[in-house]
Structures are given as C-alpha cells and as structure tokens.
Homo-oligomer: A and B are copies of this chain.
C-alpha cells in the first residue's frame, strides 16, 4: 500500500491512526460510520490486520472534509472513538477563569480510559467519568477528571481535541457467557432460572477473586418481599457497599418493625390494618433512635437490609430526593455531598448490581468507568435500556420481577458458597 506524504495533504484533510481490536470491537466500524454520516470521505493508507484473535490491528487513514471546518467537525467526533492524529500535538490547556467555570473550548470526557499528551509524555487521566473536564497537574505529571462543582480558578483544563487519546472499549477475547459486549438488548423472554444461575456464578467468581461489589437497590426490593434475600447476600459477604435512597431504608425498617411495606402486609400481600401510617411510624422510630445505626445498637432494628449492613459493617450511602417522606436522619439531603459520597464508595468497584432502581442507578451509571461489570435488573424494559445505554464493556440486562429474582439468586449463591 502506498504511503502519502504529509506535505501533500490539503487543509481539509488529516492523517489519523488507530490501533486495537479494530474490527470485532467495532472501533473502525464506528469511525467509518460517523465519517459517512457526516458526509465526509476517507482514504486508507495502511491497514495491518491481526492474524490471530489476540493480535491487534492498525490503520492509518486520511480523513477528508469538504472544508477545513467540515474536517474539524469530523475529527471532533472520531477522536472520542479512538482515532488519534498521526502527528501527535501537545494537549492545550487553559486556566479556569473562575471557580466552577470552564474555558469555552473545554474537552468533554467519555467514560473510557483516556490519556493526555503533555510535556512530551502520555499521561493517564484518573477518575474517568462521562461529561467532565480534564485538569492537568504538571507538577505531579498527572491529570484528573473533574465535575464543574469541583473546578477551582486556575485549574489547567484541557481544551480542543489535540493531544487527547481515548481507548475505546474492547470485546473480551474469550467467550463471556451472558455478559454481552456493549449490548443494550435485553429481553424478558429468556430462560429466567438459567440467567439467575449464571449471574450467581459470576458474582461468586468476582468475590472469590477479591473483587468489590456494589449494590444499587430501589424500594421495590422491600415492597416485593426480597429484603430477606438481599440481607442474606450482605450477611454472606457478597456485597461491599450499598447505594440507595430514603425509601429503601424507610420501608426496610417498616418491614422489620411492622411486617408491612408501604402498608401492604409482606406475608399476606393485602393492605394491613392501619398500614397507611406504617412508613411514618418507621420514620419516627429512626428519629427517636437518632439514626439507623443507633436503632440497631439499641436493639430497635433487628432484621432487614440495613440491619445486615450495620452488623457486617458494610457501608451504605442514602441519597435524598425531593419526593422523600421524612427523610430519615441518615439520608444525605444535599445532592452535591451525596454525589461525592457515592463516588468515594464506587472507587475500585469491580461489579455493580442495579436492582429495581432508576434514579440512584442512573446516578451511579454516570460515575462508572466503562470497564466495570454491570447487571441491571428491572421489570420495566425501558429502565433497563436506559441504564445499559450509559456504556459498559460487559453488561447484562435482565427484565424480571425482583421479588422472585432475588430470592432465587440468593438461594443459588448459598448453594455455590457451601
């Protein structure tokens, strides 16, 4: 294949290169696709394809816009997909003009591993999250991802697209069971028990390998009678952190104290006498004890999800929302603080189970790098799709009833754990 010399390129053309599992991880597919969608053209100068499945491929391509501006548009779209300019330029940084203000042309991050070319070196960006900026710290030869609330005047923020390199998600080289690469297609019409057993096996393997598991759970876990199952997973050591909100804790306490959830008898599935006031009784009980932990220590709270967390010293973070009743004293009512606490707990997480949660699960999705293993369960297919769309290398969406799913999962975990 012929080599084009750079001198011959027009101002509306640019040489880029890209390396990795270009074909089966759809890296090149996405790049070419986006170029064509935008009405651009390209010429492949060089293409080396891996002979074996473990080899990476390499491509060198001239991107052709209709005008220099058109070219810029195209480049802006393909750099986040893994394309890198053939001639690497230094990343440009501009100091933040004020606290919580970005320079106009700031680079907005993806949730994929990212590097910045600064002072002649590729520097790894820490704490990668979606839709944030990159702050370079030359003194530490480091770079970090920051949300707008944490930006300080003078922070050196990367602008433009030059000198930034993104490693797009790659398909695992080996068969990975039900965890699909970049899948967002879930279905309720799959063999339910078989899926449960495989997720159990995976969760078991992750924990045996020393991984960290976070559970994001909605109040439906309690309403559907699955609090005992989640409690047993915590007790057995399969949960390292619980992220949730006011309602889960309130109804968990209601269930433990009064055997109802939102007033419905957990044993008989009908409205209990006086049940309407039970969740307020639960809130009042916590206020009287002072906190959930105090309620456990004082012997008020003797079972349930929160009880198991306190006993096992599994940290839980409860983030407030405007629809909360109460909320109970343990709930963090300021959202900026709640986001920070969530982020701290998600550090180094290996696997996340999102169980019948929407609000808190979306919040977690926004904070996760694409490399974390994800199980999303909900009875509403739209919720599952929304969560998986955040982007994850290995994810499985399950459309099922948490009230039957979780007891069966806990049972299988117990079986494996013997």
Contacts and interface: CB of A to CB of B under 8 A. Distances in A.
A223 to B, nearest CB: 4
Contact of A269 (B102, B190, B271, B335): B190
A416 B80 CA distance: 39
A100 B195 CA distance: 36
Contact of A189 (B38, B224, B327): B224
A108 interface: yes
A47 to B, nearest CB: 4
Given A32-B24, A49-B47, A322-B363, A274 B73 contact: yes
A21 to B, nearest CB: 9
A393 interface: no
Given A23-B29, A175-B37, A284-B148, A339 B322 contact: yes
A415 interface: no
Interface string A341-366: 01000000000000000011011001
Interface residues of A, number: 128
A169 B382 CA distance: 27
A321 B326 CA distance: 16
Nearest to A270: B178
A338 B322 contact: yes
A399 interface: yes
A414 interface: no
A371 interface: no
Contacts of A74: 273
B36 A171 contact: yes
A76 B274 contact: yes
A364 B333 CA distance: 18
Interface in A377-407: 379-382, 385, 389, 399-405, 407
A403 B193 contact: yes
A130 to B, nearest CB: 9
Contacts of A102: 280, 284, 287
Contact of A23 (B23, B190, B274): B23
Interface stretch (A231-239, A260-268, A307-315): A260-268
A68 interface: no
A305 to B, nearest CB: 15
Interface in A1-58: 1, 22-24, 26, 28-29, 32-33, 35-39, 41-44, 47, 49-53
Contacts of A35: 53
A412 B54 CA distance: 50
Contacts of A264: 190-191
B37 A188 contact: no
B52 A43 contact: yes
Contacts of A326: 147-149
15 contacts: A37-B175, A37-B271, A41-B52, A42-B52, A80-B276, A102-B280, A108-B281, A188-B224, A190-B264, A190-B403, A321-B322, A322-B359, A322-B360, A333-B336, A334-B334
